[in-house]
A and B are shown apart, each in its own frame.
Chain A
Amino acid sequence: MTDFPWLTLAIALPALGSAAVALLPRERAETAKRAALGVTAATLVLVAAMAAQFAPSGDRLQFTEVYPWIPRFGVNYAVGVDGIALVLILMSAVLVPLVVLAAWRENDDAPDGGKGYFALILALEAMMIGVFAATDVFLFYVFFEAMLIPVYFMIGRYGRGEQRRAAAVKFLLYSLLGGLLMLVAVIGVYVYGGTFLWSELVGGQGALAELDPMTARWLFLGFFVAFAIKAPMWPVHTWLPTAAGASRPGTAVLLVGVLDKVGTYGMLRYCLEMFPGAATWFVWPVVVLSLVSIVYGAVLAVVQSDMMRLIAYTSVSHFGFITLGVFVMTSQGQSGAALYMVNHGFATGALFLVVGFLIARQGSSAIADYRGVQSKAPVLAGVFLVSGLAGLALPGLSPFVSEFLVFIGTYAFHPVPAVIASVGVVLAALYILWMYQRTMTGPLPEGLARLRDLSRRETLAVAPLVALLVVFGVYPQPLLDVINPAVEATMQSVGATDPAPQIDAAEVSSGHGAEGEEGGGH
């Protein structure tokens, strides 16, 4: 490990890039785009170089930097990554340049030639890397809240349709409400724990170890509600379909692919490890909410008539799987959840981008406006199919691995949730294939006769994602190697152990039945 400030550079580079792009004069919008692409590519290289030096068997947190920021409140600028944070940062760094590439022409008609949009994307990238890298609860909160502002402008100012203003406001207010409740909990952490450093707060010897269980549960809830809104989990998911429907596809990729991951990442990193007792106490309620999300999101996805909203609802369903994996408290479940976060980012990112290409051609995201696209644009249809199949977790594509792990973990926890969750898989096949069938197959109507296939730029934007889906579908081990030690450490600090596989079935069900009563009784 070196003392090279990798993470600070990875945050500073896009932040400075954002300022530079914003300061370019209006007439130089083309330069602004190139600069944005260059900066995001450089960030990707930087992050990849950092990841190459990550030692999976090394310390829990690596590339750490700690500088006092506001000593009076014990606030530090503290960054560092474990395996989970590292893969999420990598995923963000991969997605952003592709989004820039895909959004190249999207905002050419904006008064500023789209310059502002790219500046916002860069600002957002800096904050995304920062939020995953922060190891100080206060710093995490700062990034968590500050991220809202660029996204708010990306939807409200550069979004699509008449609803975009309302969608942007809804997004912001929902997130702010969650964030402010979390602020109470953040202050609580400081009042009771006396420090904001994550590494000093967690664990058996940590500052929060002696916390009174009732207080811990309230603080847990403060964090959890904010993360559940962010994730988004039923019943606080309603902002997502509106926001995604009013977003440019590029915005939607970052919103659903990366931002929402902060919610599930936060649950794993902060809810579980800072308040292990409370998290264990809340296992069943959260599992139930996750199951509702899985089924509800999937059912609503089936009946959507707009592709952007459809993908948003599939994400509600998928985030249900992720939270399920996190809260079943088994190592397979949590590894699966962490892996799911990455794979979902790639799969959903690809889907949104393809829909974005369709929107760029026809100006509509309604399913009814498309038919028989395959015959005219086979590559586009092919990419759509592959990313769709990834969304329904077809074996051989990467989301399968993670969904499978979540199922194993859930089954080991209790068979009933696993069975209910499998409904989501069946429905996933329905909504994806039905959407594909309605838009891509059949005879080509008159109106679509001039449809072009993917251009070189568009292919370049989406090909890496498809490649990653296949590669990690066949060989997920590199990711798991990095994630697993972090998951083990999480399990350890929660005090959870995997249920031994060879136990008498009756004993397992009675043991869990008692736990269920306890959890559900309160």
Chain B
Amino acid sequence: MASMASSAQAVLASPAITENPPQIDYWLLSPMLVVFGAAVVGVLIEAFVPAARRRTIQLGLALASVAAAFVLTVLVAGSLPAGEAGAGIAFGSVAVDRVSLFIQGTVLVLGFISLLLIAENRRGESAFAAQAAAVPGSEEEREHVLAGSQHTEVYPLVLFALLGMQLFPASGDFLTMFIALEVMSLPLYLLCGLARRRRLFSQEAAVKYFLLGAFSSAFFLFGIAMVYGYAGSVSFAEVARAIEEGGGPLFADGGGQPLLLLGIGLVGVGLLFKVGAVPFHNWKPDVYQGAPTPITALMASCTLVAAFGALLRVFYVPFGPSAADWAPMLWVVAVLTMVLAAVIAVTQRDIKRLLAYSSVVHAGFVLTAVIAASPEGLAGAMFYLAAYGFTTIGAFAVVTLVRTHENGPEANELSQWAGLGRTSPLLAGSLALFLLAFAGIPLTSGFIGKFAVFQAAMAAGATPLVVVGVLSSAVTAFFYVRIIVLMFFAEPSEGGPTVVRAGAFTGSAIAVGVAATFLLGVFPSPVLDNLIPQPGQPQDESLLATSEGGAR
């Protein structure tokens, strides 16, 4: 008993924070600090700037800070010495390495495009409720609509979410990761409930998302506790070392395996919930459908990228040494995800729900690369995420433009899209390109991405998984193609959809999506060769920074 207590004390005492104030390299953190600062200033603007001028200032601030953060990310990446992965900061609680910088850069670019969609104002109407606190359908709501009220809090909220997404994949220990998870999620819960039209629906989505999200956070936290119990530390490097040695200080004689497995499973549940893998995907269709479409675009691209960044880090760094333990779990999840989501997607009649299920299937494809547990897998997943992010943002941008009638709500019912290719060929053509990319047709980014992840999985011996993956691709192709058929081969129906003119913001979002989908499909080499890790590098030391020190 006494020995138990003393060893527990030793465990608790080990990080001596007070004695050595950490040397924090603010340069490496600068991209996150810029976004954080802008978000805080955004809150102040809400308090002190007159309502009429808020939108312009908030939007300018948000766009400028995200752009600046992206530039800083690029500069930081350039300043990392060659041959070194990067550095852990503040006792290794934040890991700035090439992988996290790539994910952060991707999140920032996609976030910038999402901000453009969020900012789109059509005749003074944005996609967001005039006054979220007003009861839907009430007199108060009408007054606010007539007065043209706007929620400019949206911008700082998005910035906070982006901050969480930057930190989430760059966490160096489990507690930082949990905080990042919450910083990322809380603003999103709120943003989901702010749709201008079908407000009850939107609020329902927000509540669902919040409840299920809180539930998964609890799983995650509980898993962290288990892992801490096993390893005696929440630091990724320490956990990895404990696994390699067969147990932390408390389990020096072995016997900690159940605790570790429980921990891996529970942490896995939390992360798999965020990426929306089956069976933790139930929130996705409802939330994607109910949320304002620009926010859906933000979640479908940035959140997915960030969540996978975190998932990759957790499974490659702290749990890397026990890959044999978690691989079977991820096999099952990946197969379920690819098969079930593809089959369910076939039955969908709503474009946003369909894209939600499609995003679930794509999460399954990325999981095949995670299972590879190799640098190729890491690189394949990173490329896939970037490629998918651009394409999906473009697709949701198109969704925002197709309305039931001028000034009407979005026409999300698929049957309403009949004949779109005849009435607005350019828009339908862009969406067709995005859908072909989702289906993985060559000369689009989706194909190169699929090739990259499947190649990694197959090289790691997961051939059955690849076969399931291509069969599921064939099923997904069915519903993507059905949309193309509907748009191009069907006659426009009576009272068919009205395509509102794309504003400069939405237009550029679609244009960037088209350009990225095409360029990454035809000339992927600049990204593949320079931005993501090359094959042949040892995985742990030189790819993902685990401990403090390093760069400077």
Residues of A within 8 A of B (CB): 69-73, 111, 141-143, 145-146, 148-149, 152-153, 156-157, 164-165, 168-169, 172-173, 176-177, 180-181, 183-184, 187-188, 190-191
Contact = CB atoms under 8 A, between A and B. Distances in A.
Contacts of B474: 173, 176-177, 180
Given A176-B477, A187-B458, A168 B442 contact: no
Contacts of B471: 177, 180
A223 to B, nearest CB: 14
B481 A173 contact: yes
B473 A169 contact: no
**Chain A residues touching B, majority SS:** helix
Give the contact-size bracket for chain B. Answer: 35 or more
A186 to B, nearest CB: 8
B49 to A, nearest CB: 47
Contacts of B470: 180-181, 183-184
Nearest to B522: A69
B489 A70 contact: no
Given A153-B488, A191-B458, A72 B481 contact: no
B488 A156 contact: yes
B481 A187 contact: no
24 contacts: A70-B448, A70-B524, A70-B528, A71-B525, A72-B529, A72-B535, A73-B455, A142-B442, A143-B442, A145-B441, A146-B441, A152-B481, A153-B488, A156-B488, A169-B482, A172-B481, A177-B474, A180-B440, A180-B470, A180-B473, A183-B450, A188-B458, A190-B455, A191-B459
B189 interface: no
B229 to A, nearest CB: 40
A149 B448 CA distance: 17
B30 interface: no
Interface string B467-485: 1001101100110011001
Of the listed residues B436, B489, B490, the one surrounded by the most CB atoms of chain A closer than 10 A to its CB is: B489
A316 B409 CA distance: 51
B451 interface: yes
Contact of A157 (B467, B478, B488, B529): B488
Given A146-B443, A168-B489, A184 B525 contact: no
Contacts of A153: 488
Contact of A187 (B448, B455, B482): B455
A142 B466 CA distance: 19
A250 B482 CA distance: 25
Nearest to B486: A165
Interface in B4-58: none
B455 A169 contact: no
A164 B489 CA distance: 9
Interface in B191-220: none
Contacts of B440: 180
A177 B467 CA distance: 11
B448 to A, nearest CB: 7
Contacts of A143: 442
Nearest to B473: A180
A73 B442 CA distance: 15
A183 B193 CA distance: 42
Q: Nearest 10 CB-CB pairs, A to B?
A: A180-B470, A142-B442, A72-B528, A177-B474, A156-B489, A145-B442, A165-B489, A146-B442, A187-B455, A191-B459
Nearest to B466: A184
A73 to B, nearest CB: 7
B439 interface: yes
A338 B459 CA distance: 35
Interface string B427-464: 00000000010011111000110111011001100010
**Chain B residues touching A, majority SS:** helix
A111 B478 contact: no
A157 B439 CA distance: 20
B422 interface: yes
A300 B482 CA distance: 30
Given A173-B478, A176-B439, A176-B477, A183 B451 contact: yes
Contacts of A69: 525
Nearest to B474: A177
B485 A169 contact: yes
Given A146-B441, A156-B489, A173-B474, A71 B482 contact: no
A149 B443 CA distance: 11
A141 B442 contact: yes
A166 to B, nearest CB: 9
Contacts of B482: 169
Nearest to A165: B489
A177 to B, nearest CB: 5
Contacts of B481: 152, 169, 172-173
Nearest to A143: B442
Given A157-B489, A176-B473, A184-B467, 18 more contacts: A72-B534, A142-B442, A148-B441, A152-B481, A165-B490, A169-B478, A169-B481, A176-B439, A176-B477, A177-B474, A180-B471, A181-B467, A181-B470, A183-B470, A184-B470, A187-B454, A187-B455, A191-B459
Contacts of A71: 525, 529
Contacts of B485: 156, 165, 168-169
A73 B535 CA distance: 10
Contact of A142 (B443, B458, B489): B443
Of the listed residues A164, A177, A181, A183, the one surrounded by the most CB atoms of chain B closer than 10 A to its CB is: A183
B250 to A, nearest CB: 42
A72 B422 contact: no
Contacts of A177: 471, 474
Given A156-B489, A177-B474, A184 B458 contact: yes
A229 to B, nearest CB: 12
B477 A173 contact: yes
A191 B455 contact: yes
Contacts of A190: 455
A522 to B, nearest CB: 21
Given A71-B529, A157-B488, A157-B489, A183 B441 contact: no
B463 A184 contact: yes
Contact of A183 (B454, B459, B489): B454
Interface string B387-408: 0000000000000000000000
Nearest to A181: B470
Contacts of A165: 485, 489-490
Contacts of A145: 441-442, 447
A181 B459 CA distance: 17
Contacts of B524: 70
Contacts of B534: 72
A476 B407 CA distance: 68
Contacts of B436: 149
Nearest to A178: B474
A450 B490 CA distance: 34
A157 to B, nearest CB: 6
Contact of A73 (B451, B458, B466, B490): B451
B454 A72 contact: no
Contacts of B448: 70
Contacts of B467: 181, 184
A213 B97 CA distance: 43
B76 to A, nearest CB: 24
Interface in B325-380: none
Contacts of B454: 183-184, 187
Contacts of B477: 172-173, 176
B418 to A, nearest CB: 11
A126 to B, nearest CB: 12
A70 B473 contact: no
B404 to A, nearest CB: 24
Of the listed residues A72, A146, A168, A169, the one surrounded by the most CB atoms of chain B closer than 10 A to its CB is: A72
Of the listed residues B442, B455, B490, the one surrounded by the most CB atoms of chain A closer than 10 A to its CB is: B442
A71 B524 CA distance: 10
Contacts of B458: 184, 187-188, 191
Interface string B314-331: 000000000000000000
Contacts of A188: 458, 463
A379 B482 CA distance: 43
